Structure 1
Amino acid sequence: MTNECRILFAGDPHGDFAPLIRAVLTQKPEAVVLLGDYDLEKPLQDYLRPIVDVTEIWWIAGNHEFEHPDKHRYLFDSSLADNGLHLQVKDVAGLRIAGLGGIFLGRVWYPPNRPRWKSKSHFLSQQPSHVRTAGLSLKYQAAIWHDEVQRLKQLDADILVSHEAPRSHRHGFIVIDELAAALKVSKVFHGHLHEHYTATIRAGIKVHGIADRMVADLNGHPV
């Protein structure tokens, strides 16, 4: 294992975890970080049995995890549920990694437009009683909420992993640039858009877009 391979980043698997498993068994990293959109038909650990005892497995959710209750359950009720990085900073193989899962949703917040709701509780407070009792639907659980991003900005990290892209991608969002700068990270890794590229944004932050089913090292190079 080279130093660059001590952490690997896996682009959207969409049900195909074979490339990740091969990369882990070859490189023996200390940890892997999955960038969302798993399309699970069984619990996540069942796909990753060949590597669960080889490396640490961390993840953020994409948007596909909220398309159906089973897809959601197979991730959030899996034995790897506690390894989610969303809205947290965790020490992973000696680096502080911050996570932002989900997507921007027009009915909640679609930058550069102002957020429609201050928070989840604000949204629910304006809904009929039966909606408040049921809680957020999966659609709304997939959304990125303004107040949560603001809280995440108060932390410090070395790397940001997100499903959505910063403005380095033509379909990215300046909010991700601003979050990366506030966190003082040196690198951003994102999935979702199925393109492999490297770019530089404000403050010299490197952005690595990781294509679907691709596995990359800390320099954004395919492995």
Structure 2
Amino acid sequence: MRDMAEFDRQHSQALEGLWFLGDVHAEFRHIARALEKLTKTMSKTPNWLVFLGDIDIDHQPFREVLAPLRQNFPEVKVAFIHGNHDADTYEHWACLHDCGDAMALHGQVVEMDGVRIAGLGGNFLGRIWSPPGEPVFANKAAAMNRGAFPWRDGQKPNPKLHGAIYPDDVKHLASLRADILITHEAPSCHPYGFAALDQLARDMQVVRSFHGHHHDDRSLDYALQRVTLGFDALAVDYCGIKNGLGQVIYAGPKGW
């Protein structure tokens, strides 16, 4: 387990400028309120807004949703992973990924102000892979391209296949190194989490992980399992915001 306190000391300024956003489900007003409050009280803004999935838009491209942010806070950069509801329909998937200069983090490691952030979007689907069970398909291409017969009469593959977690994506990330891992699904410290994500975090030698999906924040309980997990796991609840140190910026529907 890496030294979390030392990592936080070395990267404190960068971590304060990284904001991780829980599931918004097409609600963005709280982000503007949080940014406005910070600029009024501290005369600064975060460097990055990182969405943890379930942005959940299907009638407007993400780049248009972000346009007011670009106008009012042009220095703030945006990154995201997809969640399960971002693959509810093909319209959801297209709108999310029509994202302008926002960065899709799924399946890669990106350095943000000296901190390496890894992204794994989506959720575990039983028809694809539900650890610890064996996977049915290794990757999205195999799941979606099964010949003409399953998709006859102009049908398309189920859009939810876009949002599934695939073994090949996890295997690829496991070969890389990062400081922070963001996922939509939860690690095993959540009652509905997965040990496969614990192992991924350990393989990548991350200090900290953030997840959304379950619309709750059990981070205090997670902290009791930190030594066993081998990393610092944190949840961000519905419309919540935390910075890279795990400090609450906005507490979701419960208010400030």
So what's the TM-score if we normalise by structure 2? 0.79
Aligned to 1:13: 24
Report if the CA contact (8 A) 1:103-1:143 is conserved.
Answer: yes
Residues 81 and 184, structure 2, Cα contact 8 Å, conserved in 1: yes
Which residue is equivalent to 1:23? 34
Identical pairs, percent: 33
Q: CA deviation at 1:46?
A: 2.3
Amino acid at match of 1:84: A
Counterparts in 2 of 1:194 and 1:15: CA distance versus 1, 3 Å: same
The amino acid that maps onto 1:22 is: R
Residue aligning to 1:170: 191
Within 5 A, what are the aligned runs for 1:15-94?
15-25=26-36, 26=38, 28-40=45-57, 41-52=59-70, 53-80=74-101, 83-94=103-114
> Secondary structure of the residue that 1:109 maps to in structure 2?
coil
Stretch of structure 1 that moved more, 205-214 or 136-145: 136-145
Code of the aligned partner of 1:48:
L
- The DSSP-based 3-state class of the residue aligned with 1:91 is strand
Task: Judge conservation of contact 1:96–1:158 (CA < 8 Å) in 2.
Answer: yes
Is 1:190 matched with 2:229?
no
Partner AA of 1:44 in structure 2: F
| Cα distance in 1 between the residues matched to 2:217 and 2:172 | 29
Aligned to 2:119: 99
Higher-Rg structure is 2
Amino acid at match of 2:117: I
Distance 1:54 1:146, change over 3 A: same
Of Structure 1 and Structure 2, which has the larger fraction of its residues in helix?
A: 2
The alpha-carbon deviation at position 15 of structure 1 amounts to 1.1
Structure 1: stretches of 5+ with no match in the other structure: none
Shift of 1:80: 3.8
Specify the alignment match of 1:210 in structure 2.
236
Distance 2:34 2:52 in 1: 15
**1-side partners of 2:105 and 2:84: how far apart?**
15
Q: Which residue of 1 aligns with 2:201?
A: 180
Amino acid at match of 2:234: H
Give 1:37's aligned amino acid.
D
Query: Which residue of structure 2 aligns with residue 151 of structure 1?
Result: 172
Deviation at 1:136, TM superposition (A): 5.0
How far apart, CA to CA, are the structure 1 residues paired with 2:156 and 2:101? Answer: 24
3-state DSSP of counterpart to 1:117: coil
**Do 1:24 and 1:55's aligned partners in 2 also have CA atoms closer than 8 Å?**
no
Q: Where has structure 1 moved over 6 Å in runs of 4 or more?
A: 132-135
Q: Which SS does the other structure have where 1:219 is aligned?
A: coil
**Aligned CA distance change for structure 1 residues 119 and 220 (closer, same or farther; 3 Å):** same
CA shift in 2, pair 1:28/1:7, >3 Å: same
Alpha-carbon shift at residue 155 of structure 1 (Å) = 0.3
What CA RMSD, in Å, does the superposition of the two structures yield over aligned residues?
A: 2.2
Q: CA deviation at 1:45?
A: 2.5
Report the alpha carbon displacement of residue 130 of structure 1 after superposing the two structures with TM: 6.5
Unaligned runs of 5+ in 2: 1-11, 39-43, 250-256
Confirm or deny: 8 A CA contact 1:189 1:210 kept in the other structure. yes
Question: Would you say the 8 A contact 2:202–2:230 is kept in 1?
Answer: no
Q: Deviations over 1:42-99 (max 9, x none)?
A: 1113222332313110000001111122221111122145x00000000112210000
Q: Deviations over 1:163-195 (max 9, x none)?
A: 000001000000100000011000000000011
Mapped contact 1:11–1:34 kept (Cα < 8 A): yes
3-state SS, counterpart of residue 51 of structure 1: helix
